[in-house]
Amino acid sequence: MRTLRTDNWWLAPLLTFLGLSSFLVYGVWAIFDGSYYYAPSEYIAPFSSPCLATSCPEGARFLGLAPFGDWYTLPPGLLILGLPGGFRLTCYYYRKSYYRSFWLSPPACAVQEPHGKYSGETRFPLIIQNIHRYFFYAAIAIGLILAYDAVLALIHTPTGLGTWILILNAVLINLYTLSCHSCRHITAGRLNHFSRHPVRYKAWTFVSKLNAKHQPLAWASMFSVMGADFYVRLVAKGIVNFPFA
């Protein structure tokens, strides 16, 4: 690619490509692995939560309910895949990341991209990026569910390492969700007079501070959800069986 840059400009998109690829590979495996996603210590793997069918172990069912009944026998993660997946896929930061690292559009500043045309996000399928706000609403629900799972683990196994891993993951997931640009706009982005809406202004100020850390929160929450999911599966399989697992 033509550029006058003499630094290692290719390193950032390469590392981003490897990081996102690891998440995709693990996510596909975790979603389609319908076994060992629940441990009796009230640990449920984040990629399989909420579990909404009767095929789920009784302790893994969200609020003890199974609204999808007996007919659904596929891995539980497939039911909710589109919600957190769609939120991250349409996230403003992730769009920048995978546009640069997977599509080389462009790979870095002042580096020519290989594409001859640029149509932006005005055509299918990229026009779907415009529904990011609606995925944000779904992501709020998923974040609350993961927090609920962490609280259940805390009540049942307060000294378990897995409990604190799930709590950390829930905190990072919710902080990443709240740091979203859409959240900042929804909070008070359309107000003309902050003085007339002091509560919304305080919320906007808080979200704005989080928004400044949206990139590191995106990466931290991505690896935390993988780590928490993998740890629960290790406990469920009996591979990790410490006194305070």
pLDDT at 16: 97
Has residue 229 been placed in a domain? Answer: yes
What are the b/e assignments for 219-229, b being 16+ CB within 10 Å?
bbbbebbbebb
Has residue 65 been placed in a domain? Answer: yes
Q: What range does the domain containing 139 cover?
A: 11-112+128-236
Average pLDDT over residues 138-150: 95
Model confidence band, residue 230 (pLDDT cutoffs 50, 70, 90): very high
Average pLDDT in the chain: 90
Alpha-carbon dihedral 97, 121, 177, 11, rounded to 10 degrees: 0
Has residue 216 been placed in a domain? Answer: yes
Average pLDDT over residues 187-210: 91
Q: Is pLDDT larger for residue 234 or for residue 73?
A: 234
Query: Which amino acid, 124?
Result: F
Has residue 170 been placed in a domain? Answer: yes
90-104 pLDDT tens trace: 999 999 999 999 999
What are the b/e assignments for 174-192, b being 16+ CB within 10 Å?
bbbbbbbbbbbebbbeeee
pLDDT at 243: 57
* pLDDT for residue 154 is more than 90: yes
pLDDT at 139: 95
Has residue 4 been placed in a domain? Answer: no
2-46 pLDDT tens trace: 788 889 999 999 999 999 999 999 999 998 887 889 998 889 999
Has residue 2 been placed in a domain? Answer: no
Query: How many domains does the structure of the chain reveal?
Result: 1
Has residue 118 been placed in a domain? Answer: no
pTM for the model = 0.91
